[in-house]
Structure 1
């Protein structure tokens, strides 16, 4: 036969002083993380895997906002301020993302810390339309890989032109990270 034991109100209070703070700490630790929500499974287009639908950033996170970054000259022998001097869309995107990676590293961030990206893309003069495939091929070298699985929320937009002439790609990003407990 089992015997039921009643806890006194002081025992319950003592137990609550142990359990409630533990639950609060566990909840606070969960709330201190950046949470990335991928696009829903019903979005079957290949490009839908390249970015997140929503990213939640906790109040204790640090935020770094970068200005628009354009490509560097890829072919100095080409006429200046032309797409030929900066390269095609894929080449320009790799240049831009490489520069962003260096800017982030200089400030202690990584590409996986990027939470938001806006990409402005001009029509490739050779094709007469934006090369979103070229953009994606370079982008996928930095995001959603085995080495760096994080993807940001992202907007790609076709624009008429960028400054200076010849740029086909300009990217603006925001990066966020939660400081480690040791760093506090």
Structure 2
């Protein structure tokens, strides 16, 4: 199995954002862990729009939810069953036609993240409640490496797309199109790893995602 890890910076700073159970004082500068019922991210220092958290602290008695691995749904009936193109979400890309520069991994990533959103909603949660993510990528046909850049564009459509200083959304490109408002404005940045693997369990899948989320404290 081939594996390539995405690394994040090691410096951390407390930035307040709503993620699951909410935030608390940073555990790294206090002699005690996060308050019960809270989730606290550690983010790279000096960045207004970091991609991911470097870690996350989870307070005691925080209600958590974990998804199974979720991949894209075969929604593109114009493509052969089991093909990579069959997992293009036609609600986003009508007719299964990808705009200029949109890669098949990017399209499948969007599809998978939409399914993640549906899963979370059924559990009474949202993208904003996600605090950890695990991503498994397979090489597209003919490629020698997984398309991490395409995946990250898909990811930014749903996560880490609000400036932590201003609170305003950060325009995100879809393929090579000019950056525009992301599909879901969300300032949450989960801790995350992304691996390139040899094979995913469903023929045609290039993306599989698992997330952990925290129920908001009420």
* Fold similarity call, TM over 0.5: yes
Give the structure-1-normalised TM-score: 0.74
Partner of 1:23: none
**What is the rounded CA distance, in whole Å, between the counterparts of 2:140 and 2:35 in structure 1?**
45
Of residues 34, 37, 47, the one that matches 2:39 is 34
Separation in structure 2 between the aligned mates of residue 158 and residue 92 of structure 1, nearest angstrom? 15
* Within-5 A mapping of 1:68-87: 68-87=69-88
| Equivalence map 1:42-81=2 (5 Å) | 49-81=50-82
Distance in 2 between residues matched to 1:141 and 1:152, nearest whole Å: 14
Which ranges in structure 2 are unaligned for 5 or more consecutive residues?
Answer: 1-31, 89-103, 163-184
Partner of 1:172: 210
Give ranges in structure 1 of 5+ residues lacking alignment: 1-26
Against the structure 1 CA distance between its residues 126 and 86, is the aligned structure 2 distance closer, same or farther, given a 3 Å change threshold?
farther
Instruction: Answer with 168-177 or 144-153: which moved more.
Output: 144-153
Contact preservation (8 Å) 1:117, 1:171 = yes
The aligned counterpart of 1:104 is: 120
Conservation of the 8 A alpha-carbon contact between 1:34 and 1:177: no
- Contact residue 52 and residue 151 of structure 1 kept, 8 A: yes
CA distance in 1, matches of 2:189, 2:137: 19
Distance 2:74 2:37 in 1: 41
What SS class does the counterpart of residue 90 from structure 1 fall into?
helix
More helix by share: 1
Partner of 1:132: 148
Does the aligned pair in 1 maintain the 2:138–2:206 contact within 8 Å?
yes
How far does residue 49 in structure 1 lie from its aligned partner after superposition?
2.1
For these two proteins, the number of residue pairs brought into alignment is 149
Question: Distance in 1 between the 2:133 and 2:34 partners?
Answer: 27
Q: 1:75 to 1:128 in 2, by over 3 A?
A: farther
Runs of 4+ off more than 4 Å? 27-31
> Structure 1: how far apart are the matches of 2:147 and 2:80?
21
Give the structure with higher Rg (CA).
1
TM-score, normalised by the number of residues in structure 2: 0.63
Question: In angstroms, what is the RMSD of aligned CA positions?
Answer: 2.3
Match among 166, 186, 192 for residue 154 of structure 1:
192
**Distance in structure 2 (CA, Å) of the matches to 1:160 and 1:61:** 35
